[in-house]
Amino acid sequence: MKWMVLLFTLISANASSEEKPPELWSWIKDLDKSKEACEIQSSYVLQSLHLDNQIENQHGIYGNVKSNRVVVKCIAISPNQSKLLVAVAGNDRNSVEIVRNKIIQSIN
């Protein structure tokens, strides 16, 4: 449920009443690493994408890449396995897809 709230927050942060709804691209990926390792790698990957206004808390990592809003969340499955949840929202379909794909490909 918290993940859905985060997605709606992500969408509403980029939408205004006069604009078309933003594109929202997401992905879920299983990782053979701990939640902590997932969070560390996610933070480094987002920094390499020049994430502005990066905020890390118990709900995930948030920020902006150019005009796109990004959220990344790592969930523990077992001591050595986790799930990576990525969502990117913005008004330009191509840039949203590129940012989402770059994050997913860089975290393994």
Give the count of domains, the chain: 1
pTM over 0.85: no
Closest to 7 in 3D by CA, of 93, 86, 81, 100? 86
pLDDT at 103 over 80: yes
pLDDT at 4 over 60: no
Whichever domain contains 9, its CATH number is 3.30.310.220
Q: And the tokens for 1? A: 């449920």
Amino acid 33: pLDDT: 97
Residue range(s) defining the domain that contains residue 36: 2-16+23-106
- Per-residue pLDDT tens digits for 34-80: 999 999 999 999 999 999 999 999 899 999 999 999 999 999 999 99
CA distance 84 to 28: 6
